[in-house]
Every structure is written in C-alpha cells, then in structure tokens.
Chain A
Amino acid sequence: MKALPVLPIAIPLATAIVTVFLGRSMRGKIVVSLTGGGASFVSALLLLKAVWGGGTLVHAMGSWPPPFGIILVADLLSSGLVLLSSGVALVTLCYSVGYVEEAGQRLMYHPLFHLLMLGIYGAFLTGDIFNLFVFFEILLISSYALVAFAGEDYQLEAALKYATINLIASAVFLVAVGGLYGVMGTLNMADLGLKIGQLQDPGPLLTIFLLFIAVFGAKASLFPFYFWLPDAHSSAPTPISAVLSGVLVKVGAYSILRVSTVIFVTLGPEAKGWILALAAVTMVVGACGALAQSDVKRLLAYSSVGQMGYIILGLGIGTPLALVSTLLFIVNHALAKAMLFLTAGVVIEATGTREMKNMGGLSRTMPWTAGAFLVGVMAIAGVPPLFGFFAKFLLIQAALEAGYGLLAALAAALAIVTLWYLFAAWQQIFWREASGHALQHAPRLMTGSGLVLAAVILIGTVCLNPVVDFLKSVEAQLRQPDAYVTAVFREVMNPSGTP
C-alpha cells in the first residue's frame, strides 16, 4: 500500500532490464513485455483507486523525509494521467507486436519502449523539480532512439532535430533550476510552494517561471518550439508516433499545470498573457499546417500541435471551468490521437503509401478500420455526441466567461478548420473511388488495437457524466495547493505513515 506510487516506475524498469537480458528470444521478449505493460496498467488502476479512496499518497524514496529526499506524490491528477498513459501504452504495445519487424523486436524495441514509459510515469509522479529533469531525460533519450529506430534517412534526420531542440531545452531547464535554487534554496515542489508564499520580494521569479514555460513548451509543442514535432511524430514508427502524440506531449502540459498550481501560484496572473498568446498562435499554426499536408501521419502530427494549443489555452485561462475542459481535452486527445495514428498505420501497412491521394475507397475493404478512424476524427474535431465536443464547448464557454471573447472566437473558428481537414482526410482515404492498388493484409492485432481504443472513446462518451465528475474532483484538488503541501509534509510529522 505504501509502495504503490513506486510500482508504476519499478515495473517498467524491471521489464526493461529483463527484456534486455532475454537475448535474442523474440517470443520470450514479447511475453515479458506484454506482462510488464499489463502489470503497469494494473498498478496504475490500484494507485488511482487508493488515491481516490484515501487521498494523496506520498512515498519518500529511501525513507529520506522531504524536503531533503526525493519524494513521489500521487494525487488525483498524477495517478489519473498515469492510468491514461499506461492504458494507451498497453494497447500500443499489442500493436507493436504486429507492427515492428522481427529484427527490431529481437533487439532493443521492448526495453526502449518500457524505459520511455518509465520516464513518463516518473515525470507524472515525482514531487521534486530536479527529479522531474531526470525523468524528462530518461523519456527523451528513449524516444530519440525510438524515433530513429528503423534507421531510415528521414528518421535519423527527424531524431537529430528532435534531440537538438530538446537538448537546448534541457540546458534551459538546468538554468531555470539553478535560478530557482539560488532564490529559494530548495527544489522540493511542496517546499517551494510553502516558501514562495512567505517570500517578500519575488525577484527574478517571473523570469524563472517563463524559462520553465519555455522548457515545458518545447515538450508540449508550444509555438515557437513546435517545429520538431511534425517531423519526429510523423517519421517515428507508428506505435511510437501514437505514444509520442498521445502521451508524451501531455507531459509538457502536465508540468506547466503542476508548476503553475503548486509552485508559482502567486505568479499565475502576470504570466497569463504570455501563455494565452503562445497558445493562440500554436492553435493557428497547427490548424494551418495540417490543412497543407498530403501525408496522413504529418497531418495527424500537425493536428496534435493545434490540439496542444487548445489544451494550453485552457491552462492559461485557468478558471475552474477552463481547467476541467483542459483535462477533458487531454483525455480525449490522448485516446483519439493514439487511435488515429494506430489506424493510419494499418492503412499505410495495407496500401504501402503514406500519401492520402494514392489511397481511396478503403471503406469497402477495411470497414472496421474506416469506422475506427471516423470515431477518432469525430472525437478530435469535436462532433457533438463524442466528448471532444464537450471539451471544446466548455473551453469556449470558459473563455467567454473570463472575458476573452476574441480567443473564444478564434477557438471556434479553428474548430471548424479542424473539422474540415480531418473529414477531408477521412473522405480521401476511405470514401472516394478505389485507387485500384493491390492491398496487403495488415495483421489482425493491429486492426484490433485501434478498435479497442475506439471502443474506449465510445464507452467514455456514454459514461460522460462520471468522467466529468471525476475531472471536476481532480480540478478541485488542483485548486488547493495547500492540501498538496500538507500531504507531503504529513510524511515528515509521521514517518511511519500511519494516519
């Protein structure tokens, strides 16, 4: 029970190590890897259940009490995101078994995949800024290697761009951490939140906060740090594209949310203008970029940039309604974009091309895939019965209530552009005249994985009320940074952990 927050980090680590040492046995690697993925998902479920029932869980690594030791903090937001990403990861892992060629699976695919997930779960769970940096580096270096995994020229080039921009971001992260430590003398998030409240003169804190926004923006593809994303997400092997677009960019959004609600509570309003402006430009750039694409994976990658703009817009507005809509956006985009990449991968496998103009008429031969893709298109575009619609609706309502009429109009206009390019893509791939190409048979496992995510989206739509109620309690918890601080320091008062 006490060790629950460690499990989502320990399980992928163990799986990665075991899969490295399994040598070249492919069957063994697949079995261990899927077991590890399943175990991560189950541990995330248990974690969320424990947090939901018993409040924020804190684990001091090596029993060093905060603020000296590194702590893991699982509140509703962290454990919810761990559950979401471990679910997407599990489905993607099943898909990978059918997708990644045998040589790759015999080599390092499975260990790298689990290390990537380890970094993601760790970033969600850690309660220490420098530890966040370390987990960022773990997830980044695994994802560089995975983007370049098949070793084609364009993949190497995308990985080089991706690694370069994120290495600069890492250096900036260190500068920001150094500045923060120089001013505050601590790096524990809860301790920072406590001390910042008592600070007389904010000094360079606004600068430090904006440095953090830039660093996390580079992960969350905020304008002007987005340009690596369309290359990296479209060049990566398809299951990795799904994880990068579905889960990894959310780590950036989560970190912005975390530092602005726990640490820089007092600075929120001053930096708001910056965040809103960058988010608005990101939305425009993503939508316009997607309009111009003929390659299906590039189109989906640009659409991710646009959707991240919406997510960060919600963070910037920052009213309770806006935060609920942002969280709904994160859930919707994680599931739907991962699913779109997976089904696009099935189509690419079947037709042997990524150009949408060379596809066409596939709804007759691949009805299930066409249906799944349509669900994803409707979810991202925000067509009424699906919860993508409610996310956009709530966001526009929140913007209007907070007095940002112009931003609300922009969000609504770009929602129509999103609708346009996504339906145009669906129509080009599945509707028109058949192109007459001979179709390859895509493995059942790949089609099935896409359908599972489509089913989850539909179930989520049917159970919209419980989902929104849950997100409201997440948001209510975010509103009380004091509760976060108290939960962390209860550990110091009472190290044995008995309440």
Chain B
Amino acid sequence: MTTMLALTIGVLFGTGTFLLLRRNALKVIIGLSLISHGANVLLVTSGGFAGNRPPIIGPGGVPYVDPLPQALVLTAIVISFGVTAFLVVLLYRLYQRTGTVDMDHIRKLRG
C-alpha cells in the first residue's frame, strides 16, 4: 500500500512539474493542481494511512487510523480548490484582454 501511494505521489509531482514548465498558462494551472494533489496525498500518508481502518474510534476498540491528517487534507483541498478557481478566472480575464494564454506573448513585465 505504501509503495503504491509513494508511486502515486511521485507521478503526481512529476507530471505536475512537467506541466509547470509549459508555456501555455492553462497547462501551468493544471500542473499546479496536480502538485497540490500530490502534496495532499503525501499529507494523508504521513499520518500512517492504513487501508480500511476508519478515522474514528468505533465500538469495542476497533483499530483506527489517525484522523488529524485527514482533517488537515480536507482543509487543504478546499483551499487549493478556491485558489485554482481564482487562477482560472484570472487567466480567463487575461485571455479576454490579450487573446492568448501563451506566457511568452503575455509577458510584458521584465527585469
């Protein structure tokens, strides 16, 4: 399970980084959200994720998993959702004004 999660995290960060380096700003935003997902999965794993165990103490002391990282991840998901939505709107506005999402054409601020 841990190997599987480690691989997932690696793939998410890898593809995210690749997309971040594109010139198309929309791909950059997709890359950002992939990286956020990678960080979220990593955060869940750090609490000792164990497949089918519930994050609450059940009757009769059923083994449970630490609920804190899952609560943290919920917060983090909401935040990254909000910021991504804002970025998409920002880019759409920029696209309306400049007619392109290519960062090389948008870029005016230098030095």
Contact = CB atoms under 8 A, between A and B. Distances in A.
The DSSP consensus for interface residues of chain B is helix
Counting chain A CB atoms within 10 Å of each CB, which of B25, B38, B43, B82 scores highest?
Answer: B43
Contacts, number: 104
B90 A171 contact: no
A141 interface: yes
B87 interface: yes
Contacts of A221: none
Nearest to A163: B87
Interface string B72-110: 100110011011101100110110011000000011110
A159 B68 CA distance: 33
A137 B68 CA distance: 19
Contact of B108 (A148, A153, A178): A153
A235 B47 contact: no
Given A137-B83, A163-B87, A168-B20, A157 B107 contact: yes
Interface string A157-194: 11111011001101110110111011000010000000
A118 B48 CA distance: 34
Interface of B: 20, 25, 28, 32, 35-36, 38-40, 42-43, 45-48, 68-69, 72, 75-76, 79-80, 82-84, 86-87, 90-91, 93-94, 97-98, 106-109, 111
A172 B82 CA distance: 18
A144 interface: yes
A137 B84 CA distance: 12
Enumerate the 8 nearest inter-chain pairs by beta-carbon distance, A residue then B residue, closest first.
A178-B46, A182-B46, A174-B39, A178-B43, A171-B39, A156-B94, A231-B109, A171-B35
12 contacts: A148-B90, A160-B91, A160-B94, A161-B109, A164-B28, A170-B83, A174-B40, A178-B45, A181-B43, A181-B68, A181-B69, A293-B111
Interface of A: 130, 133-134, 137, 140-141, 144-145, 148, 151, 153-154, 156-161, 163-164, 167-168, 170-172, 174-175, 177-179, 181-182, 187, 231, 235, 289, 292-293
A171 B36 contact: yes
B39 A141 contact: no
Chain A, interface SS category: helix
